[in-house]
Amino acid sequence: MEDCLAKKMEITVSEAEKRTGRNAMNIQETYTAYLIETRAVESQSEGQCAPVESLWRRYSEFELLRNYLSVTYPHIVVPPLPEKRADFVWHKLSADNMDPDFVERRRIGLENFLLRVASHPVLCQDKIFYAFLMQEGGWKEMVNETGFQLKADSRLKALNATFRVKNPDKRFTELKHYSDELQSVISHLLRVRARVADRLYGVYKVHGNYGRVFSEWSAIEKEMGDGLQSAGHHMDVYAASIDDILEEEEHYADQLKEYLFYAEALRAVCRKHELMQYDLEMAAQDLTSKKQQCEELATGTVRTFSLKGMTSKLFGQETPEQREAKIKVLEEQIQEGEEQLKSKNLEGRDFVKSAWADIERFKEQKNHDLKEALISYAVMQISMCKKGIQVWTNAKECFSKM
């Protein structure tokens, strides 16, 4: 962790700004730009503050960065971006991307993303990432020049591999199941949480009606008037308190959402393994069949059916020279194939080793973060209960003095 960028540099996404501009199709569009500020962490003894450097980035650039990292480091569980569109919203929250609350929460999410990358032992050393933070102009070109898009595996290829791979590493199969379960359970939880928030909002807000009616009623009462009036005020306070409470809960929901999206990152690593394993199995299969062909030609026995075999039977055997040439070609191919298989094997083992190391790192991070999130949820509930106790204690006093 000594080399990690996060220790050497303060990174914040400090502002969000609405912009208008023309896009690639020359159509006017509105988007939000985010200000990334960085400052080198000076040692305490110097007592000087390094200058703050800053540049603006929009969401699509963050997406480009992440795509680049996912392709370039397929064995790493790459941190996810905050959601593109507001999801799991309860009725009061807007699902509009331009809504200031959504933009604010996205700003925090983007900052979190940068900090995650900056504290990752491998990712933080990437030059493109560094340039993303420090170099405003020409960054997009720089990314495209890496040619990472060519390295990306096609989805179709990956899907094919998933269905046809015969011997994937058991741990990856288990991990894939886990990430499916994680995604499913967190989605469900977020959906129900949004409904609970909706209902809780309703309970609190209806109490606000007491305030108005108590006040109007107090006007015709002599003895009860004061008590009613002040109790009504407390009911208004109670009704208003839910807004802050639920806003805080949104941050908790965002923490869960991050791990919802992490599940997808986990699955991406598993898919890469399946792809490599499938590739390996195909290469091995190909090599075996070539060796067999070679043997058959050399010994003259035909064990496997082949069209060539049939045609040569029909139209006569080939000459010994022709056979020799074929054998030679095959032997060369077999040589190449064995080398390739060796390197693929090595690659595969390296991948499994480094991927699994990152997965262990991820597991620890996840356990720590989720436990902290659950604790923070409990803290929020406690705060809500304490506020409730205060309001109703005050109300009780007013009522009992009526």
Which one, 231 or 280, has the nearer CB to other proteins? 231
Which one, 59 or 377, has the nearer CB to other proteins? 377
Which one, 151 or 386, has the nearer CB to other proteins? 386
| Of 387, 119, 116, residue with least CA distance to 241 | 387
Where do contacts with other proteins occur on this chain (CB under 8 A)?
178, 181-182, 185-186, 188-189, 192-193, 195-196, 198-200, 202-203, 206-207, 209-210, 213, 216-217, 219-220, 223-224, 227, 231, 367, 370-371, 374-375, 377-379, 381-382, 385-386, 388-389, 392-393, 395-396, 399-400, 402
Which one, 348 or 388, has the nearer CB to other proteins? 388
**Rounded-to-5 percentages of helix, strand, coil across the chain:** 70, 10, 20
Distance CA 301, CA 323 (A): 13
Which one, 292 or 393, has the nearer CB to other proteins? 393
Q: Which residue has the tokens 């023309």?
A: 22
Distance CA 211, CA 201 (A): 17
CB of 191 to other proteins, least distance (A): 9
CA Rg, the chain, in Å? 32
The sheet carrying 28-40 orders its strands as 9-22, 28-40, 53-58
Cβ neighbours of residue 195 under 8 Å, at least 6 residues apart? 90
Q: What is the DSSP string of 195-252?
A: HHHHHHHHHHHHHHHHHHHHHHHHTT-SSSHHHHHHHHHHHHHHHHHHHHHHHHHHHH
Q: Helix 155-164 vs helix 225-299: angle between axes, to the nearest 10 degrees?
A: 70
Distance CA 394, CA 392 (A): 5
Which one, 306 or 383, has the nearer CB to other proteins? 383
Which one, 244 or 336, has the nearer CB to other proteins? 244
Which one, 41 or 192, has the nearer CB to other proteins? 192
DSSP assignment letter at 83: P
Structure-token pair, residue 164: 């046809």
Distance CA 22, CA 24 (A): 7
**Rounded to whole angstroms, what are the CA distances from 248 to 109, 201, 381?**
15, 13, 10
CB of 251 to other proteins, least distance (A): 17
